[in-house]
Amino acid sequence: MRRLLAILASASLITAAGTTVVSCTNELSNYNTFKKWIKNRETFVLYIGAEDCPYCQNFVKATTGKPNGSLDDFENQVNNGDNKMFNEFKTNYNNKLESLQNGGKEINDDFRNGFGAKVDQVKFHHFTEEKKDSINSKKWLTKIKEWILDEYKAQYKIHNIPETDPNYVTNDLTVDDLKISSIPTYIIIRDGKLVNVTTGFDSLENGVGEEQALEKWFTEINSYFTDPASFFQPSNNGGETGGDGDGGETGETGGQEPAAGSIPYQDKSYEYRYKK
């Protein structure tokens, strides 16, 4: 009997430990999937949102044509090559790359954002939680932010960013300093490398239609894809919403307005300088 009890006790401990491992794995499953896309050197836009977020609902309605549409269906449409907008992302980027090369410019991915890689497809992926208030506490999102932080630190060193600029990086920079707290959030990846991060989607009220809102979103994402020097700048990212995780404040600006005192890196007239 004692031996049987000992065996049962051992089995219980093993089961408990196994449950802990499975639970931890489940909490990081989105991050592990994200890293798989990165390892495969995919080019994609990753949408992060919540079912109860009004601006996320606007994005879903605009992309699927239905108030309660399925982003799974939209993702399948895009990744099967049947979405005109995402096909244009690919075409516009490849045309920009070709024009620079034909103009005699040597492309060496100077800014570590994957510019120069030939893109065969721009995919769409999405991670959607049920509640907006809990999304920033998710371990998988924290891990993705940590990855973005590492990429940002590496990219910033390439640009001559003065210490007086809000985008200047110090060694003690944390994921909170990235200011990625509102949703919907879009992480733009090219050839497995970080291109940019932006947040928000237009309100569909006051006469703003789905097509108009989607066109504005397309224009912003497209500008990042076709800019050889595009890189994420936390102080320029209008994604801070006071912690409600809604994205409502960024729905109007799309994160394009530069912060006071920062250099307008996205301005095409700005002459990009970088350390060789």
Calculate mean pLDDT across residues 39-58: 96
In terms of pLDDT, which residue wins out, 82 or 181? 82
Asked if 261 and 164 touch (Cβ cutoff 8 Å), the reply is: yes
Please state the pTM of the whole predicted model: 0.77
If you ran DSSP here, which 8-state letter would residue 274 be given?
Answer: B
In one-letter notation, the amino acid at residue 61 is: K
Question: Mean pLDDT of all residues in the chain?
Answer: 78
At 9-38, the pLDDT tens digits run: 555 555 555 544 444 558 999 999 999 999
CA gap 50, 52 in Å, rounded: 6
Bridge pairing between strands 123-129 and 44-50: parallel
In terms of pLDDT, which residue wins out, 174 or 28? 28
Write down the pLDDT at residue 240: 30
CA gap 111, 117 in Å, rounded: 12
Cite the beta strand spans of 64-175 per DSSP E. Answer: 123-129
Residue 136's CB: how many other CB atoms inside 10 A?
17
Q: What share of the chain in percent tops pLDDT 90?
A: 49
pLDDT at 95 over 70: yes
pLDDT at 91 over 50: yes
Asked if 234 and 121 touch (Cβ cutoff 8 Å), the reply is: no
Write down the pLDDT at residue 33: 97
3-state SS class at 12:
helix
In terms of pLDDT, which residue wins out, 189 or 176? 189
Spatial CA neighbour of 168 closest among 239, 265, 238, 271: 265
pLDDT at 77 over 70: yes
Task: Identify the band that residue 208 occupies on the pLDDT scale cut at 50, 70 and 90.
Answer: low
CA gap 276, 159 in Å, rounded: 10
